[in-house]
Chain A
Amino acid sequence: MNTLQSKDFLAGVAAILLGLFVVIATAGYGFGTPRRMGPGYFPFSLGVMLTLIGVVIALGALRNHEKLPSLNWRPYVLIPLAILTFALLVPRLGFGPAGVATVMLAGVAEPETKKLHLLALALGLVPSIWLLFALGLGVQLPFFTWSF
């Protein structure tokens, strides 16, 4: 099996990329001296450390070809999408429509669930959660609104 596709190698690459990202992002922050550490001192040093650890992980992968686990694709796409939908709809349409949309979108991540059952679930859940947060906890959360 190809080393370049092994789990550890990709983990190393991910650490290197994240490390370099931090190094680039924090390079301009003012490093300072050890005595007077600037805002960039700590994050920049950690970015370098992360990059180096990434290199070690990737090199270690040359001896250990662990296969990449398969991803749970359908939920992986749908669940974050459902959350984004909530973020986009709540200020515009209110909690009611946003909640129903979120439950429906998240629910279809499990393909066997019937849409009608999901709708029933949404219609039961959304008002009760709204009651809990808006009335119970006093969160300002309009059920319906219209602002674009």
Chain B
Amino acid sequence: MGVWESLELGLAVAMTWENLAYCFLGVTVGMVVGVLPGIGHLAAISLLMPLTFHVPATAALVMLAGIYYGAQYGGSIASILLNLPGTASSAVICLDGYPMTQKGRAGPALLITTIASFVGSLLSIIVLIFMAPPLAQLALSFHSADYFSMMVLGLVAAGSISQGKPMIGLASVLIGVLIGLVGIDVKSGAMRMTFGVPELFNGISIIVIAMALFGVVEVISSIGKVNARAKDNNKITLRGLMPNREEWRSSFWPMMRGSAVGTGVGILPGTGGGSMAAFMSYAVEKRTSKTPEQFGKGAIAGIAGPESANNAAAQSAFIPTLTLGIPGDAIMALMLGALMIHGIAPGPRVITENPDLFWGLVVSFLIGNFMLLVLNIPLIQFWVKILQIPYRFLFPAIVLLICVGVYSLGRSTVDVMLVAGFSSVGYLLIKLGFEAAPLLLGFILGPMLEENMRRSLLLSRGDFATFIERPISAAFLGLAAILLIWVIKGELKRKPAAAVSHDV
């Protein structure tokens, strides 16, 4: 199938009323949670995951993806107007966005971020359209050993890159993999770690884990800590949205460079949902700028670049997720979870066996981004109003939605109790430095990791050398080893200095 035929198919799928409605619902919810501090997009996606049980797979993914990139848009509004980053990746936007508001240029800043988001997404989607099919084709030639090693690389990257303590990150991954193994072992029929609880025989639902770790834990840690500042925002005026010629001129190249940086970073595993892309783009802009001293004081390039970058990353993250079945971050893991709920095995066959889903989703990105462009600016006063909802009325609603959402999956009170249990333990572990995102990645990849290891060793008659004899597999494992050595070396170098500063 050629690109144009594929896009035509995608257009036909995405333009159905149902998918348009779910796309609209997704981007709107995404905007709202992006604006609101204290609810991240992970929490929002987890919260809406139960809905996906009741709708077809394509509509489900269209909606969940809409929340994701919608939140990237929404996050920048709170950052620019109030210096409150709604999502991690929009923290960068605060650096120059808020100073622009103080200078009375909030309007142009918002318009530029909206356009930058759109440009970043668009360029990244184009890369996705051309890159995904050949990559999936390539991955079709992978053997189980190659898959095993690729997952190892993905998990090592997820555990070690995203945070400062690679060992704890790796431990988080392992805990996730182990939770993923709970239930019947498909090969032998043995019950594993179910402790005689019949509700555990079919394993623990990804929704339970996501609700506990991203929903409940976030509520527990946010209570009493957010929304104290969002009161004095009556003086926002949008005198003229149009950027002047100088502002247009100095945001064009940052958008292009930001899109490139974002698309590249988003494809890599373990790079954490756009925030790394945004920070890298900011650094790039500051370095290439002729007026680096303006950064932090309201340089428009400091908004345009990172905003393009985080939206580009949000789209290109779908490349490895949909073509290889390897999610780069927790959000992509949730997307894969939604696919699996609908009985679609993630991997390179998704594009060929479910072309309507893949291309429908891709085209829905275009439509969704266009909806956001239209939603964002005219409704700005509405978004500001939403910021004023006090968190103390919001979180009881979130808790109730989590309860009823989990219960609605299978009318199982055990699932609801598991959420309570996992959130209690999870909160403590996260306080100790363990991380939820690598844990979720391990959880989703765990069973596939075991399956591929089993198959490779069966084929090689129990010879572990198979993992280094196949060149593709050896390359992945080699990269994983280099990455491990690199982060551990960094850790060893850093520690003594850190210890000194702590003692002071």
Contact = CB atoms under 8 A, between A and B. Distances in A.
B400 A30 contact: no
Given A35-B457, A50-B178, A65 B224 contact: no
B151 to A, nearest CB: 13
Interface of A is mostly: helix
A5 to B, nearest CB: 12
Contacts of B503: 65
Contacts of A10: 432
A63 B185 contact: no
A79 B431 contact: no
A107 B392 contact: yes
Q: Which of B167, B395, B423, B457 has the most CB of A within 10 A?
A: B167
Interface in B163-221: 165, 167-168, 170-171, 174-175, 177-178, 181, 185, 187-188, 190, 192-193, 195, 216, 219-221
B345 interface: no
12 contacts: A7-B433, A15-B171, A22-B193, A37-B457, A49-B174, A53-B170, A65-B502, A80-B423, A86-B400, A102-B403, A117-B393, A139-B408
A83 B192 contact: no
Interface string A24-40: 01100110011111111
Contact of B458 (A7, A36, A81, A133): A36
Interface in A32-58: 33-40, 42-43, 46-47, 49-50, 53-54, 56-57
B450 interface: yes
Contact of B167 (A60, A81, A87, A121): A60
Contacts of B432: 7, 10-11, 14, 68
Given A53-B170, A75-B220, A83-B216, A103 B399 contact: yes
Interface string B455-491: 0011001111000000000000000000000000001
A135 interface: no
A54 B170 CA distance: 10
B188 A26 contact: no
Contacts of A81: 420
Contacts of B73: none
Q: Give the size range of A's interface with the partner.
A: 35 or more
Given A49-B174, A83-B216, A140-B411, A33 B462 contact: yes
Q: Give the size range of B's interface with the partner.
A: 35 or more
Given A106-B395, A112-B392, 20 more contacts: A25-B193, A25-B195, A29-B192, A35-B458, A39-B187, A50-B171, A50-B175, A53-B170, A64-B499, A65-B503, A75-B219, A79-B220, A80-B420, A83-B419, A87-B403, A106-B400, A110-B392, A110-B395, A129-B401, A141-B408
B461 A35 contact: yes
B373 to A, nearest CB: 29
A116 interface: no
Interface string B328-367: 0000000000000000000000000000000000000000
Contacts of A106: 395-396, 399-400
A37 B216 CA distance: 37
B417 A79 contact: no
Given A11-B434, A39-B190, A126-B400, A90 B407 contact: yes
Nearest to A126: B400
Interface of A: 7-8, 10-11, 14-15, 18-19, 22, 25-26, 29-30, 33-40, 42-43, 46-47, 49-50, 53-54, 56-57, 60, 63-66, 68-69, 71-72, 74-76, 79-84, 86-88, 90-91, 95, 98-99, 102-104, 106-107, 109-110, 112-113, 117-118, 121-122, 125-126, 129, 133, 137-141
B147 to A, nearest CB: 15
Contacts of B395: 106-107, 109-110
A18 B174 CA distance: 10
Nearest to B188: A39
A87 to B, nearest CB: 4
A87 B221 CA distance: 22
A109 B51 contact: no
B374 interface: no
B378 interface: no
Given A39-B185, A109-B223, A26 B401 contact: no
B453 interface: yes
A12 to B, nearest CB: 9
A84 B495 contact: no
Interface string B381-410: 000000000011101110111111001100
Given A53-B171, A79-B399, A121-B396, A138 B502 contact: no
B158 interface: no
The 5 closest A-B pairs by CB, nearest first: A35-B462, A87-B416, A39-B190, A34-B462, A39-B185
B12 interface: no
Nearest to B402: A83
